[in-house]
């Protein structure tokens, strides 16, 4: 069974719902993620090219495993429309044993 520390949630913002959907479908097709949630758009304010930018983005909440993460990150870097996409992995420190087992099974 998948231990909590082996499970990850990966956050990745996208410029719009179409690209978010395309990325989510690609991650699932490649078995790089067990589940991807497209969250409601958020207003992001960030430093970029010596200025401050403001944009609406669609966050992805991606559930995967530590073992699958390197391939997931490489795939996102190759397919994401941003020059430098936000890709942040957070450990799942606790969770339903049956859900974590399913997550591990779906990303093998």
pLDDT score recorded for residue 108? 87
C-beta pairs of 70-74 under 8 Å, 24+ apart in sequence: 71/30, 71/32, 72/10, 72/27, 72/32, 72/33
pLDDT score recorded for residue 54? 97
Structure-block tokens of residue 54: 């403001």
Residue 82's SS3 state is coil
What is the pTM (predicted TM-score) of this model? 0.93
pLDDT score recorded for residue 1? 45
Q: What would the mean pLDDT of 23-45 be, rounded to a whole number? A: 98
Q: What span, in angstroms and rounded, lies between the C-alpha atoms of 57 and 71?
A: 24
For residues 3 and 97, is the Cβ–Cβ distance under 8 A?
no
Q: What would the mean pLDDT of 70-94 be, rounded to a whole number? A: 97
Whether the CA torsion 91, 9, 35, 26 is positive or negative: it is: negative
């Amino acid at each position: 069974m998948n231990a909590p520390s082996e499970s990850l949630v990966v956050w990745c913002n996208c410029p719009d719902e179409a690209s978010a959907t395309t990325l989510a479908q690609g991650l699932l097709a490649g078995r790089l993620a067990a589940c991807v949630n497209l969250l409601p758009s958020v207003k992001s304010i960030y430093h970029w090219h010596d200025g401050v930018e403001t944009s609406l983005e669609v966050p992805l909440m991606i559930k995967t495993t530590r073992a699958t993460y390197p391939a997931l990150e490489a795939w996102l870097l190759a397919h994401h429309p941003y020059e430098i996409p936000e890709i942040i992995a957070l450990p799942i420190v606790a969770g339903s044993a049956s859900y974590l087992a399913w997550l591990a099974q779906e990303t093998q």
